[in-house]
Amino acid sequence: MRFFAVLLTVLSLALASAHAAPKAAPTKPAPAKPAPAKPTRASTPTRPETPGVYKPFAEFDPSVFPGTSAEAVVVCDAATGRVLYEKNASTTRAVASTQKLMTALIIAEEGDLYTNVRVCGPDAHCEQTKLGLKEGETYRRYDLLRILLVKSMNDVARCLARDNAGSIEDFAKKMNTKARELGMRRTNFANPNGLTEPGQYSTAHDMARLALHAYRNRVLRGIMSTKVLQWDYDSGKTTTFDNTNKLLKYFGLSNGMKTGYTEAAGHCLVSSAMNNGKHVICVLLGERRRENIWTDSHRLLSWGLNQLNQ
C-alpha cells in the first residue's frame, strides 16, 4: 500500500509540472532572401541608356570655368540678358533646328493655338526628322507646336509655317522681320526648320537674343520643359516621344529650350536652367562630338548659375 501511495504522489507531481510549463512559441521559418534585381538598360554600368549620345554627368566644381570645345558660345543671364561668357559669338554660321525657336515664337505670339490646322501635301516635302504628316489630316495648332519643340519634326515646322503665312517663303520673310525686331542683326532665315540652305545663317549672340524672348514666353517655356509627350495621330494611333534635349533627363536644374544638328551646323544646343530664382541661358553651336553638347552645356549652365548666385 505504501508503495502505491508513493507512486501516485510521483505521478501527480509530474502531471502538475507538465501543466505548469509554458508552451514554446512556434518557430517561424526565416524569410527567403529576395532575388537580386535584374539590371535595367539604364542601370547597366557598361552600357549607358543611349550609348554614344549622352551619359550621366560627372561631378565638377561649378565655381571654376569649365571651358568648351564648341565653335561658338554665349552664356547669359536670362533675366537681364547680361553676357557671362562668349566665344566667337558674332561669327555667322548655320544653327540647324535651334532656329525652330523663331518658328515657335511667331506661332505662339500670333495665338489661335486651339484652332485646327489642316495638313497639305507639300508640308511633308522635307528631310528627316519627320512626324509623318499626311495630306488632309487635322491637328490643333497647339499640339503641333508642342511636337515641334519636343521632337523637332521638320514636316511639322513646314505645316505650321505654311498655315501661318501661306507659303514657306512668306513665313521666312516673317522670321527675318521678327529677327530685326529682336535685334538679331547678323541673321537670315530661309526656312522654318533649319535644314541647310544657301544664305541661311545666324550667330551665337543672335540666337541668345532669340532664346531670351522665347524663354520669357509662358506658352513656349511650358512646352520646352516637357520631358515626355504623348502624340495622338489623326488615324487614332498613339505613340510617345522623349524630348530631344537630354539635359532635361539628367540635369535637375534644366528647364528646356532646343536642340539642333546638320552636317553643316554640327551639334547645336540652346539650353536653360534655373536655381534659387536665377535663370541662365547657354547657346552652344558647332560642336563636332555629340556627347560634348550635353556635358559642356551642363557645366556651363552650372557655372553660370554659380556666378549669379554669388
| Poorest-pLDDT segment among 22-36, 161-175, 182-196, 197-211 | 22-36
Q: What is the pLDDT of residue 75?
A: 98
**Residue 100 annotated among the catalytic residues of the structure:** yes
What is the longest distance spanned by two Cα atoms in the chain?
129
- pLDDT, mean of residues 225-232: 97
- pLDDT, mean of residues 272-292: 96
- pLDDT, mean of residues 26-47: 39
Tell me the torsion sign for CA atoms 254, 213, 175, 167.
positive
Q: Is residue 274 part of a domain?
A: yes
pLDDT band at 59 (very low <50, low <70, confident <90, very high): confident
Q: Which grid coordinates are listed for 150?
A: 519636343
**Residue 152 annotated among the catalytic residues of the structure:** yes
Kind and range of the H or E run holding 5: helix 2-20
Q: What is the pLDDT of residue 23?
A: 42
Residue 4 pLDDT > 80, yes or no? no
- pLDDT, mean of residues 246-261: 96
pLDDT digits (tens, 9 = 90+) for 130-158: 999 999 999 999 999 999 999 999 999 99
pTM for this structure?
Answer: 0.82
CATH of the domain at 292: 3.40.710.10
Residue type, 207: M
**Residue 173 annotated among the catalytic residues of the structure:** no
Other CB atoms within 10 A of residue 192 CB: 30
Among candidate residues 28, 33, 87, 100, the one labeled active-site is 100
> How many domains does the structure of the chain reveal?
1
Q: Is residue 2 part of a domain?
A: no
pLDDT band at 67 (very low <50, low <70, confident <90, very high): confident
**Residue 214: which domain range?**
72-308
Other CB atoms within 10 A of residue 249 CB: 18
Among candidate residues 130, 152, 246, 254, the one labeled active-site is 152
Q: Is residue 31 part of a domain?
A: no
Q: Is residue 160 part of a domain?
A: yes
Q: What is the pLDDT of residue 55?
A: 57
Among candidate residues 97, 225, 271, 302, the one labeled active-site is 97
Residue 129 pLDDT > 50, yes or no? yes
Q: Is residue 11 part of a domain?
A: no
Residue 233 pLDDT > 50, yes or no? yes
Q: Is residue 175 part of a domain?
A: yes
Q: What is the pLDDT of residue 61?
A: 87
Mean pLDDT of the chain: 86
Q: Is residue 65 part of a domain?
A: no
